[in-house]
A and B are shown apart, each in its own frame.
Chain A
């Protein structure tokens, strides 16, 4: 039913999506100092990357930021999803619209508005401003992930919990959250990768005292191509891939 023309076309598109990544990974294992000549397999650039103190410090910062931001966004996002699913309240449509707007709006618009906010409130640009910003742009994605699990959930289960004497909090804590836990975990992983991935917002709201990995890489590759970046980028791809697969399995498990 699916013609060879279609298959050929799809292969080309996939090739377009993956070729640069595969070439990058190939170069990461290239022994040669020059990027463009093949000098045999080697792990020297992974070693160089791991020995680069600045790079490693930035990596540590980024991981810490991603974990804190993902956790914060997961708490707020999950509670929001539950509220949107469970309650009627004034301004529900507005809240939905706001979340949708945040998800759709270009990063740079959010970046400058947050920068203006932090300056006005006198919040020091650094870890705190980064965490607050990252939580903000992660929230809608987590709301969507958790809400989609909630929306095919039998509300009678919650009525049963109430019937058996749970108050609102007990019902959420002992019945609702355990059931949607896979979706919550998947949301956390999505938040984690979004935070690790972000360049635009971080460029604006970071300060000189707290350098994070994407910005460190950015400043390194702006001027030229660095082989140790290939190695580090390969590691980052691996982390993202693992996070994606884990979240995929979690969502599958959650829906079965």
Chain B
């Protein structure tokens, strides 16, 4: 086996490696390095940036005007993540306890929204939530409310939209860990005298941590970037970091500041990715035992 992998290089292998490395370097590594550079440059009028080093952009992030957007966006993203986790965790667990022949179908029902256009789904939510929309009409005719509720263009609507679009991203990794969770661990904990609550706290949560972190990663980061959800459901008032970046790049033409804002997003990702790597290590140990 060993020597099989270590055959002298073939032109085919060289070609494949050059292609993939070339692609990743050109379209992933290089652009990201450029963004880091851009973030320490000065805004320019003719060529977007001027070659003048500055840390002004990093200071501007703390301008109350922008800081408020950052904090409110982070807030909405965190709330979205928590709601997705609270809905998705028991849901993923419930699916994993179904008989093996039903599970794929139940998961298919979760995956379908994941495959359908998220813009279209956001739009569908907008139709449902509109002042004269189906939800208000139903509530009115049931006599639960007297005047239509203003549901669109609120923070709640943005969060609902984010939860709606991102929930499958939380459920998928959670289901993956629940499905792999060795039920023997839970029995062993009970055997050693742990109550249901203690078993959940000491065993289930730590052992499903990779799924919790992966799901949070897949929800939290897009929740700060999906500007069209805030646009469609939140109007001009409830902005995400994504809206801010988009405005800086496409409208205000202040690339260095836009780049700085995106670096904050990337740093958040790096922290979560690190947590994910740590927990995945644990997961591998669990599988190997």
Output the nearest chain B residue to A77 by Cβ-Cβ distance. B20
Verify A16–B164 contact, CB threshold 8 A. yes
Cα of A113 to Cα of B34 in the assembled complex, Å: 7
- Provide the A243-254 mask, 1 if CB < 8 A to any CB of B, else 0: 110001000000
Contacts of B58 in A (CB 8 A): none
Contacts of A139 in B (CB 8 A): 23
A23 at the interface (CB under 8 A from B): yes
Tell me the interface secondary structure of chain B in the complex: helix
A56 at the interface (CB under 8 A from B): no
Name the distance in Å between A161's Cβ and chain B's nearest Cβ.
12
A104 touches which one: B35, B168, B221 (CB < 8 A)? B221
Cα of A221 to Cα of B229 in the assembled complex, Å: 12
B116 touches which one: A27, A136, A241 (CB < 8 A)? A241
A221 touches which one: B32, B87, B126, B133 (CB < 8 A)? B126
B224 at the interface (CB under 8 A from A): yes
Contacts of A86 in B (CB 8 A): 5, 13
Name the distance in Å between B48's Cβ and chain A's nearest Cβ.
7
A184 at the interface (CB under 8 A from B): no
Verify A20–B273 contact, CB threshold 8 A. no
Cα of A107 to Cα of B218 in the assembled complex, Å: 11
A182 at the interface (CB under 8 A from B): no
- Provide the A214-226 mask, 1 if CB < 8 A to any CB of B, else 0: 1001100110010
Output the nearest chain B residue to A196 by Cβ-Cβ distance. B117
Verify B21–A95 contact, CB threshold 8 A. yes
Cα of A248 to Cα of B168 in the assembled complex, Å: 17
Verify B124–A24 contact, CB threshold 8 A. yes
Verify B116–A217 contact, CB threshold 8 A. no
Contacts of A117 in B (CB 8 A): 26-27, 30-31, 34
Interface residues of B in 48-97 (CB under 8 A from A): 48, 87, 90-91, 94-95, 97
Contacts of A16 in B (CB 8 A): 87, 164, 167
A200 at the interface (CB under 8 A from B): yes
- Interfacial residues, chain B to chain A (CB-CB below 8 A): 1, 4-7, 10-13, 16-17, 19-21, 23-24, 26-32, 34-35, 38, 48, 87, 90-91, 94-95, 97-98, 106, 108-113, 115-121, 123-128, 130, 132-134, 137, 164, 167-168, 217-218, 221-222, 224-228, 231-232, 242, 245-246, 249-250, 255, 258-259, 262, 265-266, 269, 273
Q: What are 21 A-B pairs with beta-carbon distances under 8 A?
A: A9-B91, A18-B113, A20-B127, A20-B128, A24-B123, A24-B124, A79-B19, A88-B5, A88-B6, A89-B17, A109-B269, A112-B249, A113-B32, A116-B31, A116-B34, A116-B38, A120-B34, A135-B23, A167-B10, A200-B225, A218-B228
